[in-house]
A = this chain, B = another copy of it.
Amino acid sequence: METLQKTTNGVDVSRLHGTIKAIEENPSIADFKFRATNNWINGAHNVSTIKGFYGACQEDPSRDESLTLIADEPDVLLGTNNGPNPTEAVLHALAACITTTLVYHAAAKGIQLKSVSSTYEGDLDLHGFLALDLDVDPGYKVIRIKFEIEGEEELSTRQKQRLLDVGRQFSPVHSMISKAVPLEVVLN
């Protein structure tokens, strides 16, 4: 007789179902606020510090130490390569989010994954950033994404496509990049 496997793809599925049940009983558990603080160092070099957040009806106390993310530009863009540039960080955020969403939903369905990898390429025209042509948008014109998914047991192309579709549909960052997010900006 098999023992009940509670963890799939490294996700504690028992806790996941417990979270879902708790949210159904008290919807405000689902309200999260994530935060970052950024400080300019020099040139294109700046650092974001990430620690506290609000979620599950409280300020979360679980992170003992701050997490940091470093940005810089490569030499051709007058930086010193201390970290990926901000537009590369967007590709990371997008990749990480589709992947995590796909992995969690697969776990909830009992689909054991062996590997998930993906590549991203975004086209950017510096006429926008440099204010050389106000008709050119400073952001990516398009982002091309390729996914490879392997299951512990062989998955059909249809099953992989379904996982990828779910990963996209419920990914917070996929939503933020493919739709407009309202930004409220004030000067202190």
- CB within 8 Å of B: which residues of A? 9-12, 15-16, 19-20, 23-24, 27, 29-40, 42-46, 48, 50, 53, 55-56, 60, 62-63, 67, 69, 71, 73-78, 81, 83-97, 99-101, 103-105, 113, 115-132, 137-149, 157, 160-161, 164, 166, 168-188
Contacts and interface: CB of A to CB of B under 8 A. Distances in A.
Contacts of A48: 91-92, 95-96
Contact of A96 (B38, B103, B185): B38
Given A139-B172, A144-B184, A188-B148, A121 B87 contact: no
B148 A40 contact: no
Nearest to A69: B92
B175 A177 contact: no
B23 A126 contact: yes
A171 to B, nearest CB: 6
Contacts of A50: 84, 88, 91-92
Contacts of A40: 99, 103, 113, 115-117
A88 B46 CA distance: 16
